[in-house]
Amino acid sequence: MHDKSYMQITVLSGKGGTGKTTFTASFAKLLQKKVVIDCDVDAANLHLLLNPEIIMEKEYYGGRKAEIDLLKCTDCGLCENLCRFQAIKELKVDPISCEGCGLCVRACPENAISFELKKSGVYFRGNLEDKSEFYYAKLFPGEGNSGKLVSEIKKEATGFITEETEWILVDGPPGIGCPVNASLAGTDYVVLVTEPTLAGLHDLKRLIDLLNTFKYRYGIIVNKYDLNEDITKEIIDITEKTDTALLGLMPFHEDFVHSLQQGKTIVEYNPAKWRRTESG
């Protein structure tokens, strides 16, 4: 691959519902020469605002599930007794409960349990209105390995980076788990979107601890800051004490609701108010 000439920005939030995807979609509308990746594979919705034209769909096989061959099974009950997830009952494996550990496969004296890769989701490549590349995925309910799927779509996206690409914009999942770490791979800067609630503050601190551990550069946007100015002040105090960039204080405003109702980003819905120009 060519030498890196682009900057990767990852947008994260400690919890869901802070406005992370709303901001990411607006950033995507403002940036040029970009590749956009929605890494929230458990609840992808960035495509609802950006409306990509889907040009590729691929199946994702992320894990294995046990399945009993009744023609070989002698009903010894060993697999059912060993399964700590209680996924085997009456010679049947519940695919939702099965964690794919493979213990039953190794223990079966009759080799009556198969352990094949199972389709766990799908991922998509698309083109945005300005012909930029867009990627997102859908992990099927009950499936694990969401971090692996995040890595898969990011790997797919890097194959289409060109010398003209200036930005990689990643909409990460909420929280601090495995898919968040997979989203952060290769990131140059992290934008944290939080809200002034006790849950928002608590989860912001956890996410900051994670980013500090791996020494990522980051800044903070406080969304709906005016709903609880006491907690907003606590967040601002954190930025001052840790020399962290306060990227913005966004008010609670009905334009955000109306724009989402119309399937538009805020910078499209009311550009005069929310789209900053070079002179503004």
The predicted pLDDT at position 3 comes to 60
Tell me if 99 sits within 8 A of 23, measured CB to CB.
Answer: no
Residue 134 shares a structural domain with residue 260: yes
Residue 90 shares a structural domain with residue 214: no
The predicted pLDDT at position 276 comes to 66
The residue from 79, 111, 143 where one domain ends is 111
Residue 120 lies in a domain: no
The predicted pLDDT at position 235 comes to 97
Residue 83 shares a structural domain with residue 162: no
Total structural domains within the chain = 2
Across the chain, which has 280 residues, the per-10-residue mean pLDDT values are 78 94 94 95 94 95 91 95 95 90 96 93 95 94 85 91 93 94 96 96 96 96 96 96 94 91 89 64
The predicted pLDDT at position 132 comes to 94
Task: Please report, for residues 167, 185, 240, the alpha-carbon distance to residue 188 in angstroms, rounded to integers and kept in the order given.
Answer: 10, 9, 22
State the residue for tokens 């009903």.
Answer: 75
Residue 183 lies in a domain: yes
Tell me if 191 sits within 8 A of 11, measured CB to CB.
Answer: yes
The predicted pLDDT at position 102 comes to 95
DSSP letter for 2, please.
P
Residue 92 lies in a domain: yes
CATH number at residue 43: 3.40.50.300
CATH number at residue 105: 3.30.70
Which residues form the domain of 98?
A: 70-111
